[in-house]
Amino acid sequence: MHVEQISIFIENKFGRLAEVTRILGEAGVNIRTLSLADTSDFGILRLIVNDAEKAKSVLKDRGFTVSKTEVVAVEIPDRPGGLADILQVLDASGINVEYMYAFVERCGENAVMIFRFDETQKAIEALTAKSFNVLPGERLYSM
């Protein structure tokens, strides 16, 4: 039920984001979704790709600082209040959302959000207990 995400530390300067995406493209790594958080000096590029090990390897070989993190993909009803419903379940279970971002494709009538929790397994259990669909990584990699 976990999804592998890679995080790349990049300097906030011209061409660095293009360089990362070029390196991955040349290696045949497909970016499925991404999030970029930045400051004036640096950024953290979070990616879900079709081959996390290969992505991590080729980027490290080119001098980038890369780490892997487990995140969770959850189907969210694509309607007003859909996200609020999930966040209320997590709040009631005492689970903190460290960050989240949207996946670029829909899953049927639902949107897909990527979450990083302080207590991943507890979050999965709380969401599935309330009938929210937590997606396995393999499903995302092939969407």
- Calculate what percentage of the chain has a pLDDT beyond 70: 92
Tokens of 141: 């990699």
pLDDT tens-digit series, residues 92-115: 999 999 999 887 665 666 777 788
Q: Are residues 53 and 15 in the same domain?
A: yes
33, 56, 108, 141 from 83: Cα distances, Å: 19, 31, 16, 23
pLDDT of residue 138: 76
Do 88 and 99 belong together in one domain?
yes
CB atoms within 10 A of CB 112: 21
Phi-psi region of 124 (alpha: psi -120 to 50; beta: other; left: phi over 0): alpha
Mean pLDDT over residues 31-53, rounded?
90
On whether residue 142 sits in a domain, the answer given is no
Any idea what the CATH number is for the domain that residue 40 is in?
A: 3.30.2130.10
Residues 54 and 86 in one domain: no
Domain extent at residue 82? 71-137
What 3-state class would DSSP assign to 76? strand
| 143 in a structural domain | no
Q: How would residue 143 be classed by pLDDT, with cut points 50, 70 and 90?
A: low
pLDDT at 128: 92
Quote the pLDDT of residue 29.
Answer: 96
62 and 15 fall within a common domain: yes
